[in-house]
A and B are shown apart, each in its own frame.
Chain A
Amino acid sequence: MVFSSPVFLFYFLPAVLCLYFLVPKGLKNTLLLAFSLFFYAWGEPVYVLLMIAVIVINYLFGLWVSHLKDAGRPKAARFALIACVIINIGILGFFKYADFLITNINFIPAVSVPLLRIALPIGISFYIFQSLSYTIDVYRGIVKPQRNIINFGTYIALFPQLIAGPIVQYKTIEGQLESRTHSYDRFGDGVWRFVVGLGKKVLLANNFGLVWDKVSGMEASSVAVLTSWIGILSFAFQIYFDFSGYSDMAIGIGKMFGFEFLENFNYPYMSKSITEFWRRWHISLSTWFRDYVYIPLGGNRRGLALQLRNLILVWLLTGIWHGASWNFVIWGLYFGVLLILEKLFLLKVLQRIHKFFSHTYTMLLVIISWAIFAFDSLKQGVYFIGSMFGVYKASIADNVSIYLLLTNGILLLIGIAGSTDYPKRALKFLQAYLHKKPALATAGACVLLLIISLLSVAYVVDASYNPFLYFRF
């Protein structure tokens, strides 16, 4: 089930909200778990069993690891942890990467292994990573093992962040699983975040998606340069508003139920270096890799050579986390190399030049990365990048580009403004200005929310175009 559908908005959400606030405190997590399993089973009626298995396995391993530690057997505890990591990675590997591996093995002459053709369980990369954060932190003694399987299940399956993140680390909501407060303040903030996120997804991302679909469907060698740029900019805005919109909705729904998740996006397109971009883009993923791969490998504490190895490894994994395909590997390595260059010397240069240039540098490289990301086939991606820089005989602009620009110009301007923090700052300013007139501030907020909600519902009802971008994650 996706958030931007009538089923979620007008069947699932009212039902779960209504029952959640009716049941007594002790049953709230049970209710959330039941609804979360239903939410998952709606789209994956069979794979919900896999998710339940993951819950049970990690629950038991958590208890076992902590038991061994308490019994003064650190080696056995380490062994149990490694077994647990292998099982989790094994599940992820089997369901997500088996066919990719087989396809590549089959390139070896005289080898022909039949494909397994396994459908990828939605959200598997998110919930496996969440599970791993739990057991590893139990081993490290950062968190206590969760003895209540309902609470643990609620953590893994919690529907707001289940299918598109953020990757919530157990330690950040350990306490909230046991007890959390519900207040109008938090609920109201949740409503605000949710509506803004919904608007980002259905009003902006889906419309940018239509432009990108049109442009990416054209023959790259005959596409005018301007058309390519309109197309790839649209993809950049689609993926940003889609992904950050989902995170906003997740954080918003979380707040309605009393949870506080960490932020996942922080205006990445305002970055002035790639290093900064990855501190602002999909924060929960880079934090996860930092805490559970980069630092355990030694991070930057064991000399430059090992640090570079660690960086490359982390970015290779980050790339392939996004999908079992070579373009994601290249995409990850592309960023790995850029980050290394910045670490070695570029960052110092970027800090010295005017922010216009550092920002242009960053966005140019990010936009090129999206062309690698967007096409499964590397060849197609390279062709597309070629068309962006006028490598083919096509013109700079033609009727198609001018038509796309005229009919999507306003949308692009909204996209540019919407990916900066200016709208937020303007709202903050207005709020401060209306400090002494709270009724006016509330009325203004209500009108804004209502407009976004009504338009979003209009788009959701005409569900002719509502892609889900994370089916490969």
Chain B
Amino acid sequence: MNKKLISIGFVTLLFSVSLINIIKPQREFSENENRYLQKLPKSGISKIFSGKFSMDFEEYAADQFIGRDGWITLKTLAELAILKKDNGRIYFGKDGTLFDATETVDSDVLEDNAVYVKNFINKLRSKTPELDASILLVPTATEIYNEKLPRFAPVPDQQSAINRVSKIFDNDAILLDTIDLLKSNKGKYLYYRTDHHWTTDAAYIVYCEWARKVGLTPLSLNAFSVKNVSTAFYGTLYSKANLVTLKPDTVKAYHFNDAVSVSADLGSGKTSNTLYFDEYLNKKDKYSYFLGSNRPLIEIETGTKNGYNLLLIQDSYAHCFVPFLTQHFEKISVVDLRYLTIDLYEYAIKNDITDVLVLYNLPGFATEKTISRLEWEN
């Protein structure tokens, strides 16, 4: 063995990579990982002695490493090659489908949350006896497409979670079991392969069933023109996968054929006359095309004059669902409890709420710690 060659080869490689790392320009943001990268930290006596400088510098050295995306893809490929099927954050399913590997159902949180919702509805009903209330807990892809999961991958049992909740609500609210409904439509494109949300197609299927259950007439497909607004959507799961060879998703929108006027008050002085935010189609987070980013309260005035006012307590799963509601309600108040800081009961009374819909993804609802804010009082 020629050890001189090995020595020189090693030193040459070491020095070239090191030199390239030093002279290459810094990157601000990683589209691939969807996060800001650490830049060269500034030094200072206190930062050095607290060890903060060293820690930031170590992060900088890893974040600004030449060809970072390629390296981390190589790592993922190496793991897939030895038959690993997850990276602790996501499962690598069949056909390039990614699943969230961190989903859980916390039975205690789930039951507490169901009780918070039930109490809130009953409190409102004592003031507004004719109030209509419904609950939509949407299963995630791990439940509907479980055959695409890696074999034996442990995921929470969402069906038994729904059954638990339905016992709690009894007759206080309409609870839709959407698992069978979505499973019977499996052939359709129900979940993004690279994002943790459901697709607009899935939202439309559930909307039709929900409308029938609550006594509304669902709008038929003829009322819409369905458009692919983006065919290059790399979602949140993609950002955790570190595998650049994955194929992008398509984002669909169901636009009404007849022009409908909406005006939305987004809070903090912002308004909008559409529920679709085109600017996000050029950004990483294309799901935010629907209703924009997460906000505590969005108040939507629709052109429909029927006196029905909906309070929609939701997470981002509802964002692509909201447009379907505009033909059925005069006013829709979209509330995100994670950011809310008001007494929601008082708000509902003041705004003549006639209908309540709670829409969450199921594992989200079963781990969310902010549902208790329904009990907030001023």
A residues apposed to B, CB below 8 Å: 1, 5-7, 9-11, 13-14, 17-18, 42-46, 184-185, 187-189, 191-192, 195, 207, 210, 214, 399-400, 402-403, 406-411, 414, 431, 438-439, 441-442, 445-446, 449, 453-455, 457-463, 465
Cα A449 to Cα B93 in complex, Å, equals: 32
A5→B82 contact, CB < 8 A: no
Residues of B292-313 at the interface with A, using a CB-CB cut-off of 8 Å, are none
A358 to chain B, nearest CB (A): 31
Cα A191 to Cα B18 in complex, Å, equals: 17
The stretch that binds A, out of B117-125, B146-154, B172-180, B195-203, is: B146-154
Partner pick for B61 among A10, A14, A408, CB 8 A cutoff: A10
A6→B62 contact, CB < 8 A: yes
B21→A403 contact, CB < 8 A: no
B18→A7 contact, CB < 8 A: no
A213 to chain B, nearest CB (A): 9
A403→B84 contact, CB < 8 A: no
A45→B48 contact, CB < 8 A: yes
Cα A453 to Cα B17 in complex, Å, equals: 12
Cα A184 to Cα B8 in complex, Å, equals: 9
Q: Give the 3 A-B residue pairs with the shortest CB-CB distance, closest first.
A: A188-B3, A403-B152, A6-B61
B1→A431 contact, CB < 8 A: yes
Whether A407 touches B85, Cβ cut-off 8 Å, given contacts A14-B15, A457-B71, A461-B72, is yes
For A434, the closest partner residue in chain B by CB is B1
B6 at the interface (CB under 8 A from A): yes
B10→A403 contact, CB < 8 A: no
The stretch that binds A, out of B51-59, B135-143, B186-194, is: B51-59
Whether A406 touches B51, Cβ cut-off 8 Å, given contacts A10-B14, A463-B62, is no
B83 at the interface (CB under 8 A from A): yes
B83→A406 contact, CB < 8 A: yes
For B82, the closest partner residue in chain A by CB is A410
* Contact bitstring B66-99, A, C-beta under 8 A = 1, else 0: 0010011011001100111110100000000000
B2 at the interface (CB under 8 A from A): yes
A9→B14 contact, CB < 8 A: yes
A403→B61 contact, CB < 8 A: no
Chain B CB within 10 Å, residue with most, of A17, A18, A442: A442
B375 to chain A, nearest CB (A): 31
Partner pick for A446 among B5, B11, B18, B153, CB 8 A cutoff: B5
Whether A403 touches B3, Cβ cut-off 8 Å, given contacts A5-B61, A7-B61, A461-B65, is no
Decide if the interface of chain B is mainly helix, strand, loop or mixed: helix
A438: chain B residues within 8 A (beta carbon): 1-2
A7: chain B residues within 8 A (beta carbon): 57-58, 61
A6: chain B residues within 8 A (beta carbon): 21, 58, 61-62, 65
For B50, the closest partner residue in chain A by CB is A45
Interface size class of B (residues with CB under 8 A): 35 or more
For B47, the closest partner residue in chain A by CB is A45
Decide if the interface of chain A is mainly helix, strand, loop or mixed: helix
B54 to chain A, nearest CB (A): 5
B13 at the interface (CB under 8 A from A): yes
Whether A458 touches B74, Cβ cut-off 8 Å, given contacts A6-B65, A407-B150, is yes
B43 to chain A, nearest CB (A): 12
Cα A399 to Cα B82 in complex, Å, equals: 20
For A403, the closest partner residue in chain B by CB is B152
B197 to chain A, nearest CB (A): 24
For A44, the closest partner residue in chain B by CB is B51
B215 at the interface (CB under 8 A from A): no
Residue pairs across A and B with Cβ atoms less than 8 A apart, 7 shown, are A5-B61, A17-B14, A18-B15, A184-B3, A191-B10, A403-B85, A442-B1
B10 to chain A, nearest CB (A): 4
Cα A449 to Cα B154 in complex, Å, equals: 37
A99 to chain B, nearest CB (A): 20
A462: chain B residues within 8 A (beta carbon): 62, 71-72, 75, 242
B14→A407 contact, CB < 8 A: no
For B92, the closest partner residue in chain A by CB is A407
A455→B78 contact, CB < 8 A: yes
Cα A406 to Cα B9 in complex, Å, equals: 38
A11→B74 contact, CB < 8 A: no
A458→B2 contact, CB < 8 A: no
A378 to chain B, nearest CB (A): 28
Partner pick for B51 among A18, A43, A411, A460, CB 8 A cutoff: A43
Cα A74 to Cα B21 in complex, Å, equals: 58
Cα A465 to Cα B242 in complex, Å, equals: 14
A17: chain B residues within 8 A (beta carbon): 11, 14
For B14, the closest partner residue in chain A by CB is A14
A441→B1 contact, CB < 8 A: yes
For B242, the closest partner residue in chain A by CB is A462
Cα A299 to Cα B194 in complex, Å, equals: 65
B48: chain A residues within 8 A (beta carbon): 45
Cα A414 to Cα B65 in complex, Å, equals: 29
Cα A442 to Cα B75 in complex, Å, equals: 26
Whether A188 touches B6, Cβ cut-off 8 Å, given contacts A11-B61, A45-B54, A463-B62, is yes
B17: chain A residues within 8 A (beta carbon): 10, 457
A18: chain B residues within 8 A (beta carbon): 15
Cα A217 to Cα B18 in complex, Å, equals: 38
Partner pick for A442 among B2, B14, B78, CB 8 A cutoff: B2
B61: chain A residues within 8 A (beta carbon): 5-7, 10-11
In the complex, besides A18-B15, A45-B49, A191-B7, 12 extra interface pairs with C-beta distance below 8 angstroms are: A5-B61, A6-B65, A7-B57, A10-B21, A11-B61, A17-B11, A184-B7, A399-B154, A441-B1, A442-B5, A455-B74, A462-B242
Cα A6 to Cα B22 in complex, Å, equals: 12
A458→B4 contact, CB < 8 A: no
B152: chain A residues within 8 A (beta carbon): 399-400, 402-403, 406
For A45, the closest partner residue in chain B by CB is B49
Cα A410 to Cα B62 in complex, Å, equals: 28
B14: chain A residues within 8 A (beta carbon): 9-10, 13-14, 17
For A6, the closest partner residue in chain B by CB is B61
Cα A5 to Cα B59 in complex, Å, equals: 10
A45 to chain B, nearest CB (A): 5
A135 to chain B, nearest CB (A): 31
B71→A446 contact, CB < 8 A: no
A329 to chain B, nearest CB (A): 31
Cα A463 to Cα B242 in complex, Å, equals: 13
B50: chain A residues within 8 A (beta carbon): 45
